[in-house]
Chains A and B, each alone.
Chain A
Amino acid sequence: MAFDYEKYLRPGKLPHIWCPGCGHGIVMKGLIRAMDTLKLDMKNTAIVSGIGCASRLPGYIDCCTLHTAHGRAAAFATGVKMAKPEMNVILCGGDGDGTAIGGNHFIHACRRNIDMTYIIMNNYIYGMTGGQFSPCTPTGHKASTTPYGNPDPGFDIAKLAIGAGATFVARGTAFHANQIDKLIVEAIQHKGFSVVEILDDCPTTYGRRNKYKSVIEMMNRLKEVAVPVKAAEKMTAEQLKGKVLTGVLYKEEKPEYTEEFAKVIERAKASK
């Protein structure tokens, strides 16, 4: 049977703002399926985003939604979660929002291991402003502000998250649509700060500048570069060159921030 997405969508908001072929809609559907699998109480669920194309996602979903300022999703969300630890708090946004202007909040949310899930839609570009290079644009690639090729090295978001202390890190792609909800389910179920990076496509501002002939070519590129972590174990370094690992990349059990703060409250009350 067809999946009932309408149940989770705010009426009258479609069609969404994303361009033809943009994978953000595929990611949003994955998130909705994950929410459905987990039977999340929508009254008790907040989706918090920053600014950018991907950050427009919360407006479509019928729960408590907070479209904040550029880069600040993780910090606003930390306030929501601290105030109401019983709420499910999900963050979403793009690569520029999350790792450039929001980079500091991102790494510190990872460090605290606060129980929230951050879905980063990485399309290697600032789409909403017209295609400027982001910290995730590959070196040498073209953007509206790297007309001679990008001189910057890019971030590996997953490594950044692991290094900063996130206790669940996964990566998927917009091509591997049926994996997205499974990764998000596992991320939400994980106690602690979980990061799900979804490699995404921006045909409008990235694809056309980097010689992708179509959305389909971009999707196929995601298919080609992705290697599941299990499969990668059996591959040589040579074979893995230019590939990107997908699946659950890292998982660890560590004390969760709001639970640790609850202990602070206990100690403070005992000291009165």
Chain B
Amino acid sequence: MEKTLPKIEIIEKYCKGCHICVEFCPTKVLEMKGFVVAVKNLEACIKCMQCELRCPDFAIKVSAE
């Protein structure tokens, strides 16, 4: 069965570039692009929601079926 990919929404205007989500993502899905976070490898996402949980700035939303 084909894996359904989650949707990771980055609200760039809220992101302050603190790196927390990048560092605490266990599968290194995210990266910094300039001062804001970006999705680097969505395939690797295990939908653990750690990035959404830890983001102090309400800048990440992870939607998974």
Contact = CB atoms under 8 A, between A and B. Distances in A.
B14 A215 contact: no
Nearest to A4: B61
B9 interface: yes
Contacts of A59: none
Interface string B20-52: 100110000000000000000000000000001
A25 B56 contact: yes
B56 A5 contact: no
A21 B18 contact: yes
12 contacts: A1-B63, A1-B64, A2-B63, A5-B58, A15-B58, A20-B18, A25-B57, A26-B55, A26-B56, A29-B58, A216-B19, A219-B24
A246 B40 CA distance: 35
Contacts of A171: none
Interface of A: 1-3, 5, 9, 14-16, 18-26, 29, 177-178, 203, 214-216, 219
A21 B17 CA distance: 8
Given A21-B56, A26-B54, A219 B20 contact: yes
Contacts of A18: 56-57
A20 B58 contact: no
B19 A214 contact: yes
B20 A216 contact: yes
B63 A14 contact: no
B19 A21 contact: yes
Contacts of A19: 16
Contacts of B3: none
A96 to B, nearest CB: 20
A2 B61 contact: yes
Contact of A178 (B53, B62, B63, B64): B53
A9 B20 CA distance: 22
A122 to B, nearest CB: 16
Contacts of B18: 20-21, 203, 215
A22 B54 CA distance: 11
B63 A16 contact: no
A203 to B, nearest CB: 8
Contacts of A2: 9, 52, 61-63
A19 B18 CA distance: 9
A3 B17 CA distance: 21
Given A16-B57, A25-B58, A29-B58, A3 B52 contact: yes
